[in-house]
Structure 1
Amino acid sequence: MRTVVFFGAPGSGKGTLASRTAKHHGLRVVSSGDALRNHVHRRTTVGVRVAEVLAAGRLVDDAIVADLMFSELHAASQDRASLLLDGFPRSLHQAEWLADTLPTVSRSLDAVVNLDVPERVILGRIENRWIHAPSGRTYNYSFNPPKTHGLDDITGERLTKRADDDIDTFKARIAKFNDTTTPILEYYHSKGILNSFKGETSDQLFPQIDHKLGHIFGFKQ
């Protein structure tokens, strides 16, 4: 059972590349954010705790996230599923917890993927990004424009900007991501499993990721 961790700044295209990579290599994507929302919706034991924390206006702490991720890791191991972790770990403490926990569910960490996309490229994407809020469909006037300017392709409804698609806000988000992620990347570099890929588009990045993971997995089959 393979396990891969994906890192990428907000706006780097991480979600798209994670999905594409998972499909090509037969990996199940586990997003910590999606998992949190799923547990809240299902009102599991962890979900009830998360809902209480969020209702009180507090951040979900590492202990709760650890319980959640252990549940996801254990379930995947029961299914003999290979995993791509998207959005986890988010701190050095979580990275160390993951290293200690994977062997308990008969896993090891095969590779860490880091997307190195220039900030100017990310900010350019944000300036040109528009969404259809009800469906979540996303358009970009640089490379994926709607058929009719300002309107959703499916419904014809007006497109809008996300509330947080503000350049100054996004610069702050990228800075925060870099501050929190740098120690984690240094940790994985010291373990010899960090793989960073430079590029500006998913079509530039995916072949690099695909080739590297194919090489790594080829030696682990």
Structure 2
Amino acid sequence: MKNIVIFGAPGSGKGTQSDKMIEKYGLNHISTGDVLRGEIKNGTELGKTAASYIEKGQLIPDDLMVSILASVYDSFGRDSKGVIFDGFPRTIPQAEALKKMLDERGDKVAAMIELDVPEDELMKRLILRGQQSGRADDNEETIKKRLVVYHSQTMPLIEWYKQEGVHYHIDGLGELDRIFADICQVIDNI
């Protein structure tokens, strides 16, 4: 099972590249944002608990998030070719919790793929995305705040995955197909 953590700043191309990996390799995809919205919409017990935190403007505790991810992960079954984790982990305690959850199932993260894009390019991409999609959070002020948060959390997590021996740096600037080819080279060799 090839479990992959896709990692990168907002606007680095995680969603686009995840879609291409799903198509080529038949991987499942867990986007924490999508999962939370789904659990809440479906009125599950986990969803109700998550909603109670969100309604108060609080972050969802790591143990609850891992329970939700474990539930989705298990739903894919043992025949799954692997899972792309998108949006999780974001901190070292979350990475440790994900590792423990996978260990309990005899699985592991095979690769942490970091899409590295210069900040000026991220700004251009996100502002364009905001203009095209109407996403309210894609404005310059909010983007700058999101990037500060990302960078403050990122470096420790990148180092953590380097120590785990599964960190792969991908230059996320340039042609979409070249970036995907670089990702495929990583996946094909794990």
**What TM-score comes out, normalization by structure 2 length?**
0.91
Q: Residue in 2 aligned with 1:176?
A: 149
Give the number of the structure whose residues are more often helix, by fraction: 2
**Match of 1:165, as an amino acid?**
D
- Note the alpha carbon deviations across 1:93-143, whole angstroms, 9 max, x for none: 010111112121231211110001111111122333323xxxxxx4xxxxx
- Note the alpha carbon deviations across 1:145-177, whole angstroms, 9 max, x for none: xxxxxxxxxxxxxxxx43222223212211211
Q: 2:182 aligns with which of 208, 213, 219?
A: 208
Written as runs of structure 1 = structure 2, the 5 A alignment for 1:1-221 is 1-129=1-129, 130-131=131-132, 138=133, 161-201=134-174, 202-216=176-190
User: Which SS does the other structure have where 2:169 is aligned?
Assistant: strand
**What TM-score comes out, normalization by structure 1 length?**
0.79
> What displacement does 1:81 show?
4.3
User: Which SS does the other structure have where 1:200 is aligned?
Assistant: coil
**Match of 2:63, as an amino acid?**
A
Structure 1: gaps (5+ residues): 132-137, 139-160, 217-221
Q: CA 1:57–1:126 in structure 2 vs 1: closer, same or farther (change >3 Å)?
A: closer
- Provide the C-alpha distance between the structure 2 equivalents of 1:48 and 1:56, rounded to a whole number of angstroms: 13
Q: Which has the larger radius of gyration?
A: 1
Of structures 1 and 2, the one scoring higher in RCO (CA 8 A, sep 6+) is 2
Supply the RMSD in Å over aligned alpha carbons.
Answer: 1.6
> What displacement does 1:78 show?
4.1
Q: Residue in 2 aligned with 1:144?
A: none
- Provide the C-alpha distance between the structure 2 equivalents of 1:29 and 1:83, rounded to a whole number of angstroms: 5
**Match of 2:185, as an amino acid?**
H
1:73–1:105 CA contact under 8 A, matched in 2? no
Structure 2: gaps (5+ residues): none
User: Which SS does the other structure have where 1:5 is aligned?
Assistant: strand
Q: Percent identity?
A: 33
